[in-house]
Structure 1
Amino acid sequence: MANTLYPESYYAASANAVPPRPALQDDVETDVCVIGAGYTGLSSALFLLENGFRVTVLEAAKVGFGASGRNGGQIVNSYSRDIDVIERSVGPKQAQLLGQMAFEGGRIIRERVAKYNIQCDLKDGGVFAALTAKQMVHLESQKRLWERFGHTQLELLDQRRIREVVACDQYVGGMLDMSGGHIHPLNLALGEAAAVESLGGTIYEQSPAVRIERGANPVVHTPQGKVRAKFIIVAGNAYLGNLVPELAAKSMPCGTQVITTEPLGDEQAKALLPQDYCVEDCNYLLDYYRLTGDKRLIFGGGVVYGARDPANIEAIIRPKMLKAFPQLKDVKIDYAWTGNFLLTLSRLPQVGRLGDNIYYSQGCSGHGVTYTHLAGKVLAEALRGQAERFDAFADLPHYPFPGGQLLRTPFAALGAWYYGLRDKFGM
C-alpha cells in the first residue's frame, strides 16, 4: 500500500514531532466514523469525544495533509460571502443565526490551543488592506456590518496607520481585526489530532475511504479494513474525490500557491510587519502574507481552477511578493507549494445529511481555517439532536456549476478573469 507523505512545504519541514499512526487493517466498530483528518474532521471528533461518543477517524494520507496543513495560516472571520450577501439570499432570520456564528471559529481555535497546549505559533491581529478608495468604502461598510452582529474588535486604518503595521506603499487604508490572527496550520492540526487521541479517539493514517455502504448501520471500507458506525461524518473537502458523487457535483477543487522566504532576521522582519499581524488585500483574487515563528515571510495568492499543480510556483507568486515588498528582491525563496481548497458556486459552505446517518460539511471556498472549526461543533451538535445551527447552514441554497463537471473549470476561470479586471482597474 502506498505511503503518501506531506508535500515539500515549509509547514512540513517545521512540523512538530508526532508518533507514527497505523493504517486500518481490521474491522472496527464505533459510534462515529469521521472521513478526513483535516480541521473539519478533527474539530468534529474533538467535540464528539468531549460529549461521550466513540470516534474513529480515517485519513487517506497523513493528519493535515490537505488544505489544513498547506493554507496561509490566517485566522479570518466570517465566510467567503459575507453576512449581508447571506441576508439578501435567505432573509433576516436565518442570516441572524449565521451572523452570530460568523466569529465563533476563531474563538474555538484559541480555546483548543489553550485547553490542549497546542504549540502552533498563535499570534493575534489580522489586517484587511485596501488598494483603492472603493475598497476602503467597502471596509467601512464591513465594519458596520460586523459590529451589528456583536463583533467589536475592529479598527479602521487610514493611510498613515496602515503604514505603521505594514511596510507597503500600495495601500490607501485598511481594517485591523484583533480577533483575527495567524498560526502554523499544520502544527495546529497535529495538536488537535493529539487531543483527539488523548480523549480516546483513534486516528488511522494511510487509510483512504474507498466505499461507503449506506443503510441503517453504515460501513466505511478502506483498502485493508472497514469501520462499522452509527454515524458517518464526511470531511474530505477538496480531497474527497468521487467517494460521494452527489457532493462532487456541486463543488470544484481549486489550487492556491504559497511561497516562503529564507529567514529574514529580526530587524528586517520587524521592518516589514512591525506588529507581526497577518495581511490580506481586498482584491477578488487576493494576496495574503504573514511572518512565521522563525521570521520568514509566507506569501500566497492566485487560484488555479480545477486544482492543477503549476510547473513553477515561484514564478507565479514571487512577482506578487516583490510588488508589495520590492525591498525583498535579493531574498531567497526556500519553499514553494500548492494546496487545494473546495469552491462552491455560491462561495458558501455546503452542510447537510444523506439519509439519516451520513453528515457532511464542505466547500469553505477559501475561508476554511475558522469555518471548519465551527463546522465541527455544528456537526457534533446535530449528532446530539441539537440541529438548529446545523439547519441554518443546511438550508442555504446550492446549485451545480453551469455545464456540469466538464465546463465548471472554464466557467469559473472566466468569472475570475472578469473580477481580476475589475481589481486591476479599480472598478
Structure 2
Amino acid sequence: MHLNSIAFAAGIAILAAPVPAATPEVSGKARAIHERVLTFDTHLDTPANFSRPGWDFAEGHSLSRDFGQVDLPRMKAGGLDGGFFAIYTPQGPRTPEATAAARDAALIRAVEIREMAARLSDKVELAFTADDAVRIAAKGKVVVYQSIENSYPLSADLGLMTTFHELGVRMMSPVHFLNNDFGDSSTDPKGPEWNGLSPLGRRFVAEANRLGIILDASHASDAVLDQMLALSTTPVILSHSGCKAVYDHPRNVDDARLIALAAKGGVIQMNAYAGYVAKLPENPERDAALKALYAKMGNRHDMTPDRVAELVRERDAILARYPGSKPDFDAFMKHMLHALKLVGVDHVGIGLDWDGGGGVEGLEDVVDIPRISAALLVAGYTEADLQKIWSGNVLRVLRAVEAAKAK
C-alpha cells in the first residue's frame, strides 16, 4: 500500500474509459484459458476505497476519473475471480494512544469489507478456507479472502490476532515501510532496529502458526524473512514482491532467499509497483510539483468525487509538463519469468498491489491482467501451470496452514 507517495503519483497511467474492453494483444485462445483458470491476486488494497465518499465497489471506476484500479465491473472485464483484500494501516507512532487508534481503524476496515460482502451478497462472498474458493467461484461470485498489511494495530495486544482470524483474516504481514514492534522493515531509512524479528515478532510467528494464518514477509527486511522461514512451521508467502536479481531494490528478494522460500513450500507473488520493477527516471521538478499538489489537496480518501476529479486534472497537468517514462509490461514479466525459472511454477504467484500503487505501462489496472496469462503461454507455460500461478499455489499454502492448525 503506497497511497499518495510521490512514486505512485508520478507513475500512475491514464485509462480512457471506466471499463475498457479486453486487451487487444490477448488472443481468443489465451483469453479462453485465462477465463477457465481460477485467478486470484494476493494483494488488493481496494478496501481503502470502501469509505471514500461516493465510491462504490459495485460501480465501474477508472484511473482517469478517481484513481481506482479494481471494482466489480472491471474484475469481470479482466477475468479476476478474487483474492486477498487487504486491511492496511500505515505505520504510526509506537505509543499506546496511536496504537489504539490504529487498532480501531483496522477493525473498522474489517467491518467495511464484511459490509461490502453483505450488501453485494449476490455477487461477492467471503472465503475462510481453501475449499471455499472453488465453491464460491462456481456460483459466479467474487471470492474475498482478507489479509492484514502491517500488524502495527496488533502490537499492543497479540490476542487481537484471534479477533481478526475470527473475522476472516487468513494472511498477515508484520511490518510495512518502517520498523515497528514486530521487526525490521526493508525500507526504514534508520536501518535495522531488531536485526530481524523482535521478541514480540517471534511470538507473532508462533501465534500465526497456531491460528492458521499465512505469514506474509513482503515489506520485511531480509533478516525478518530469514527468521520467519526458520521459525515458521508452515510455508511463508511474499504477497507482493519482486526479484532483486532483476532490479536491486530493498523491497525485492535475492535468489538465495527465493530458493530458501521455495524449499519451505513458500511462494513469491509478483508485484507490479513501478518503483520496485525497475529504476524510475528522476525528475526533481516533477516530484516537487506533485508533492506540493498532494500537500494542498490532502488525503484523497476523504475527498468528494468532484474533489478527486480536480486532483486528477491537476496531477495530469503536472505530468504533461514533465513527461517521463515508467517501467513497462515487459519489465514486469522479467521478474515473473526470472522467478519461474529459478524456483519453478509451484512457487510463483501474482500480487500486483492494485489500489496501492501497482501498475506499469501496459498493466494499468485489473482489466489488463489477461496479458499476464497470454505472456506466460507465449513463454511456454501450460494451462495447468497458469492454474498454479494464479491461485493453486496460494491455496496450497492455505491448506498447509489449515492442516498445521488442525494438528
Indicate the structure with greater helix content.
Answer: 2
TM over 0.5: no
Indicate the structure with greater strand content.
Answer: 1
Q: Which has the larger radius of gyration?
A: 1
The TM-score with structure 1 as length reference comes to 0.28
